[in-house]
Structure 1
Amino acid sequence: MSLPEKVLLGDSPLTWRQVVAVARHGAPLELTQAAWARIENARAIVDRIVERGERAYGISTGLGALSEVVLSGEQFAMLSRNTLLSHACGVGPVLSIEQTRAIICCAIANYSHGRSGLQRKVVEALLALLERGITPRVPSQGSVGYLTHMAHVGIALLGVGEVEWRGRVVPAAEALAGEGLAPLRLGAKDGLCLVNGLPCMTGLTCLALDDAERLLHWADVIGAMSFEALRGQIAAFDPAIIALKPHPGVQRVGANLLALLAGSEVVAASRGIRTQDALSIRSIPQVHGACRDQLAHAARQVDAELAAANDNPLVLGTPDDYRVVSQANPHGESVAMAADLLAIAVAEIGGIAERRLDRLVNPLVSGLPAFLVSQPGVNSGMMIVQYVAAALAGENRQLAQPAVVDNFVTSGLQEDHLSLGTSAALKLGRALENCQRILAIEYLLAAQAFEFHRPSAFGSGTGAAWETLRERVPAYDQDRWLAPDIDAATELLRDRAVLEGIAARIGGLQ
């Protein structure tokens, strides 16, 4: 396997795909000289403020509700260290390695804009974590949008806390020493810069975009299989009809379905057997397409956030002519809303998939043996896997409730409107996992339904998908332990190479 291409940051903003390349695929991240120059310029401004004894929030004052407390001397370094220690109070399950790497990558992207004012050595230390495979242990819960997650990353730079390193969980100090790295001594504003901004919700949402993009392609493939197995009426996908619904996602899904079903003898023989299909069958372009459009919107929002300077205060100008401005760029409303909207789309994909697979097992509407087994009665067949899909779809309805509309007051009335974007991104991740399993179940059921349409030829793409599953999961002729089959189908859905192989059979998916 070839090594991932290096990601160079500094001459243009990072994109969500590049974050995924670094976090998930191990691509090296390197800053350009222009980025380092911006970082050093902003730091020179901070040093000038300290040197002159000027009052500036977060540089020479306390934080949040303590912003009226003025600091001096060694208190600058103490504040930065204490900020990390006091803010590293997250709880709950630890984030995965790729999630933490995505957060670190987004933090570096923020600092590369040169508006924060932290020392160059802090950014170099974060890059070293990525390069050396040192991943801080970051609890997933406890953020209203920022602060706690990056505090847990930050304390690792001090040699405090635990990290994952060389396949083990070890004290951060041990991993740093093992890689020949020294714990950092922080200066003015370094601690605030480390905990501020939106790297957590942004990094998590970058990974979610990658997963959602993959699953939306699979949804078209598997939805086409169910359409074929249920002998759907292809007239609903007529290009002239689809063209009258000019949403970009609808156009792409409509084209995908026709390509996947091309050459199907089952579809050809089914023309005219009913006036119209149930909506879960004939509205695949409209529903899947709407969800694709939400994905595109979320991607634009995340890329815009990666291009943003998110810190408070922001440092502008040069050491000879500067401004330090308190504002609200670290408010995560845009990413929070995008993650919430995408969670709704993911719930819809899982919801309509559950409706399709329910029709596959129901002999009253499928025209197939009850629960897709040749001897129903003595065999329960695929009866209970539909229950599983329904349970997951029900959970996704709960996860589709927006986080961004919740609000709490923190920091002694200083922060009285919060995005809860990290919560939005985390629940989006859970919704995607549920959706993936629902689609895996539909994949199993649609493939099993194909067994009752043999020897008719299937579509170019749907037939390829059926053959792919059969390489891992045999046909179901009598009851057996089904959980491993669901796991096997789920693993296929995780593998982009498998999806690309199916897509290649039809000249690609849009």
Structure 2
Amino acid sequence: MIAQTYARNIKTVILGDKIHIEEFAAVTRYGANVEFSDAYIQRVKASRQLVDQWIEEGRVMYGINTGFGALYTHVISTEETAQLQKNIILSHSTSVGTPLSIEEARAVILMILQHAGQGYSGIRIETLEMYRQFLNLGLTPFAPKEGSVGYLSPEAHMALVLIGEGTAYLNGELMSAKDALDRMGLKPIILGAKEGLVLTNGTTSATALGVLALYDMLKASKAADVIGSMTLEVLKGTTRAFDDRLMGVRPHEDQRHTAYNVRRILKDSEIAKHHENYRLQDALSIRCIPQLHGAAKKTLKDALKTMEIEMNSCCDNPIIWWDGIDGEAISGGNPDSSYVGIEMDSACIAATMIGKMSERRNNRLVDGNLSAYPWFLVKKPGLNSGLMIPQYTQAGLLNDMKILSHPATVDSIPTCGNQEDYVAMGYNASKKARQVVEKLEYILAIELLSVFQAHQFMDNTLQPGAPSKAVLDEIALTVSIMEEDLYLYPHINTLRDLIHSGRIIELVEEKIGKLE
């Protein structure tokens, strides 16, 4: 096994400094424990002390002792502060429909902890500790996902559980928040000044869903290099189109790296070597793998840079600023989700581009006129449909992806009595990115299924490359060679899991080292 850290191998994540996408996935998907560093705890406490001090001094501060949004001119008395914070949670719990998945809800909690832990929010450490316990104990708030323009509503549903309201999952069972807290030995808390605002404000849910989607998109883009290389191999394509000299005269880094990946994957392939001059030139879906995959990966890497900045930011309003002598609560627009939204809209387009090329490669595999194999990769076409209909599935999925690639962020519907007269819609961009990448994984899985089935028709005196063989051997453990029609749905899911889990990348990297 190569020396590389995968998210599933990280057992503990300590908040207090920057976190990266692998640590994020370790907590949200693989259940790594979360701890707070001493620096984290100290800066949260220092920020809270300022809030308490300013309340005692009678300062008027947005969201701390005023109403929210368009109601910012309404000053709230000290005696009503706790009720104000509870009211924001109750009144903002209005998202509807299908709930966030367990990993999505965990991701939002992690982002709340990371954003508030920067020390500019004024929340109590006790409140953040409660959410930390939720992550570590497997207690997950129920939160409907539909009906957010950037933040507020899903986060409010989740915060209900802190105060003993709403519902939560415990070991997969949905129950009242009170019962879930009781089973874990936890008590509901009373929110202090500003805490209701901190828990619902910012880009936490948009960032959380976006990073989850991006994590899977980045894996899928590497898997696409592997699957595309295997398709080239089985279709007797030429590796000449991946020559580094060709890449050097159009020096896009990710194009060059993609071509390098393909060359390494096929380096010891007897099939690829034998057919190097079989055709002068392949179809675009084969020879343009570096160009399209490279462009998509650049977009995804640009998104990663932006999303990791967002993960490690304070996106609250107001922020609590301390200058060493005094300080102030500074109101502004950091909860705006434009950075997240634009990047995730772009990421959806990039993923759809990978998907559309995969579908075209798969079409070449199943079309007997193009592949020179039996139609639909089955020995007796006509009596058997073979792999005819999975390409239909690809077509339906790809149509969905194209619809979802329309940008969310170009829209704006004013809210809050026109106090929020422009709305970024970053949440919807991230939400649809989750749908896009799931469909991409299925499209790639179907191409991989066709590659696997095509090998039964190849000259068995020529061996595939070691990376291809490792993947084919893994597939053969659970997927049978199709000599006549069989139930394909389980096999498609198995191959999608191979992609989603990153296992296909691990198999290849065990043979040739880290993919670019």
Partner of 1:193: 198
Q: Distance in 2 between matches of 1:478 and 1:496?
A: 30
Q: Distance in 2 between matches of 1:256 and 1:274?
A: 21
Partner of 1:478: 484
Q: Distance in 2 between matches of 1:266 and 1:26?
A: 42
Partner of 2:49: 44
SS in 1 for 2:480: coil
Partner of 1:499: 505
Conserved in 1, the CA contact under 8 Å of 2:470 and 2:508?
yes
Which residues in structure 2 correspond to 1:196-207 (within 5 Å)?
196-207=201-212
How many residues end up aligned between the 2 structures?
509
- Among 404, 407, 411, which residue is 1:402 paired with? 407
Aligned letter for 1:256? N
Partner of 1:274: 279
- Among 372, 375, 384, which residue is 1:370 paired with? 375
Which residues in structure 2 correspond to 1:294-443 (within 5 Å)?
294-317=299-322, 321-443=326-448
- State the shift of 1:498 in Å: 4.4
Conserved in 1, the CA contact under 8 Å of 2:237 and 2:272?
yes
Q: Distance in 2 between matches of 1:425 and 1:382?
A: 33
Conserved in 1, the CA contact under 8 Å of 2:285 and 2:357?
yes
Partner of 1:103: 108
Q: Distance in 2 between matches of 1:135 and 1:318?
A: 37
Aligned letter for 1:373? V
The normalised TM-score by structure 1 is 0.97
- State the shift of 1:17 in Å: 2.3
Partner of 2:188: 183
Which residues in structure 2 correspond to 1:85-124 (within 5 Å)?
85-124=90-129
Conserved in 1, the CA contact under 8 Å of 2:33 and 2:136?
yes
Q: Distance in 2 between matches of 1:372 and 1:236?
A: 26
- State the shift of 1:266 in Å: 2.3
SS in 1 for 2:434: helix
What's the CA shift string for 1:143-178, capped at 9, x where partnerless?
Answer: 100101110111100000110013311111111122
Aligned letter for 1:194? L
Aligned letter for 1:479? D
Partner of 2:3: none
Partner of 2:4: none
1:6 and 2:12 matched: yes
Aligned letter for 2:498? L
- State the shift of 1:8 in Å: 1.5
- Name structure 2 gaps, 5 residues minimum: 1-6
Which residues in structure 2 correspond to 1:19-30 (within 5 Å)?
19-30=24-35
> Which stretch has the larger CA shift, 92-101 or 30-39?
30-39
Q: Distance in 1 between matches of 2:324 and 2:162?
A: 27
- State the shift of 1:267 in Å: 2.0
Q: Distance in 2 between matches of 1:53 and 1:271?
A: 79
Aligned letter for 2:352? A
Q: Distance in 1 between matches of 2:59 and 2:99?
A: 40
- State the shift of 1:2 in Å: 9.3
SS in 2 for 1:406: coil
Q: Distance in 2 between matches of 1:486 and 1:73?
A: 60
Runs of 4+, deviation exceeding 6 Å: none
CA RMSD of aligned residues (A): 1.6
**For residues 55 and 426 of structure 1, do their structure 2 counterparts lie closer, same or farther at Cα, with a shift above 3 Å needed?**
same
- State the shift of 1:488 in Å: 2.0
Partner of 1:55: 60
Conserved in 2, the CA contact under 8 Å of 1:208 and 1:428?
yes
SS in 2 for 1:140: strand
- Name structure 1 gaps, 5 residues minimum: none
Aligned letter for 1:166? N
- State the shift of 1:506 in Å: 2.5
Partner of 1:15: 20
Aligned letter for 1:356? R
Conserved in 2, the CA contact under 8 Å of 1:45 and 1:318?
no
